[in-house]
Amino acid sequence: MGKITVETCPIEGVKVITPQVFGDERGYFMESYNYNDFAEEGIDVSFVQDNQSSSVRGVLRGMHFQINHPQDKLVRVIRGEVFDAVIDLREGSKTFGKWFGTVLSAENKKQLFIPKNFAHGFLVLSDIAEFAYKCSDFYHPGDEGGIRYDDPEVGIEWPRLDMKLNIIERDLNWKGIAGYRAGTDL
Q: Among residues 35, 69, 120, 133, which one is catalytic?
A: 133
* Type of residue at 162: D
| Cβ-contact 30, 64 below 8 angstroms | no
Residues 6 and 16: beta-carbon distance below 8 Å: yes
* CB-CB contact of 124 with 159 (8 Å): no
Does the active-site annotation cover 133? yes
Active-site residue, selected from the candidate residues 28, 35, 64, 69:
64
Cα–Cα distance, 75 to 110 (Å, whole number): 9
| Phi/psi of residue 139, nearest 5 degrees | -70, 135
Distance, in Å, from the CA atom of 180 to the CA atom of 163, rounded to the nearest integer, reads 29
The question of whether 33 is a catalytic residue gets the answer: no
Q: Which amino acid appears at position 10 of this protein?
A: P
Query: What is the set of active-site residues?
Result: 64, 133
